[in-house]
């Protein structure tokens, strides 16, 4: 039996085991998906141990290890290399790192005409945020503003550009087409709420609870829930590991919705 795991500091709360084990049963695959919850201190030993096991087929990597995992891999796909973060590891003849977060997030968005004219605001700049920034640039968005707790150099920029801090938010919220929260906190304060247009799409990549504190602040805005990204990034992982595109049926969605 092949073994697969989600690896992160809160991975015991992850819905990835539910999603993948559902697909294993549906497609009659002899595999089991569980979790590993390392600390920053024991990450090295835990990862080496699991990757050395012959029955380990793959890992999903989540916060805060999407960058740290890279040094344990033999090779990266082109997108993981450019993004600088890995969320999918395949342990076959060699240990390969892939990034499916970028396609996973883009598939949650509605069809968008003239992306070059749309203002996007990204809150936070960790591994998942890098993947989202990467795909938005790739799809033609020109005005992408990134805010972070501290100033960090922005990737995919010829000039030396840095993230803005959350203190600068109020100057830029008006006129945004989409606001994406990639942090586990709520960076938008009460005083900011009236500055956000009712037409702005609000997105949070945190999926539990489904209505995060961040999303609840915008009862009248269209929303993109974090669970959509979790499912969409999982589908290509399954294809990489088992060569099959899994489908998402109503029974699976009902089971997930009971958990979030």
Q: How far is CA 67 from CA 132, 150, 242, in A?
A: 15, 18, 25
**Domain-wise residue ranges, the chain:** 2-99+228-259, 104-224
Supply the CATH classification number for the domain 104-224. 3.40.50.720
Architecture of domain 2-99+228-259: 3-Layer(aba) Sandwich (3.40)
pLDDT at 156: 79
pLDDT at 260: 87
pLDDT at 127: 87
Residue 61 has pLDDT above 70, yes or no: yes
Percent of the chain with pLDDT over 90: 93
Catalytic residue from among 3, 13, 26, 66: 66
Question: Quick one: angle between helices 16-26 and 250-259, nearest 10?
Answer: 160
Residue 66: active-site member: yes
CA distance 131 to 1: 32
Q: Which two tokens stand for residue 164?
A: 């803005």
| 2-99+228-259 and 104-224 have identical folds | yes
């Amino acid at each position: 039996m092949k073994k697969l795991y989600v690896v992160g500091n809160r991975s015991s709360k992850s819905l990835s085991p539910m999603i993948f084990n559902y697909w294993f049963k549906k497609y009659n695959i002899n595999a089991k998906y569980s979790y590993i919850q390392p600390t920053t201190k024991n990450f090295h030993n835990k990862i080496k141990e699991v990757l050395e096991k012959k029955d380990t087929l793959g890992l999903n990597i989540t916060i805060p290890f999407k960058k740290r995992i890279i040094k344990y891999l033999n090779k990266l796909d082109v997108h993981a290399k450019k993004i600088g973060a890995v969320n999918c590891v395949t342990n076959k003849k060699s240990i390969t790192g892939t990034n499916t977060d970028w396609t996973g997030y883009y598939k949650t968005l509605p069809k968008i005409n003239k992306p070059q004219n749309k203002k996007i605001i990204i809150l936070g700049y960790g591994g998942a945020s890098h993947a989202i920034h990467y795909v938005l640039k790739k799809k033609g968005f020109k005005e992408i503003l990134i805010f972070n707790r501290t100033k960090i150099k922005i990737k995919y920029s010829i000039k030396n550009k840095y993230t803005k801090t959350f203190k600068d938010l109020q100057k830029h919220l008006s006129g945004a087409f989409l606001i994406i929260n990639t942090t586990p906190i709520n960076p938008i304060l009460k005083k900011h709420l009236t500055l956000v247009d009712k037409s702005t799409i609000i997105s949070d990549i945190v999926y539990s609870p489904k209505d995060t504190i961040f999303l609840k602040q915008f009862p009248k805005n269209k929303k993109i829930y974090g669970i959509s990204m979790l499912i969409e990034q999982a589908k290509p992982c399954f294809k990489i590991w088992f060569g099959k595109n899994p489908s998402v049926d109503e029974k699976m969605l009902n089971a997930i919705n009971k958990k979030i």
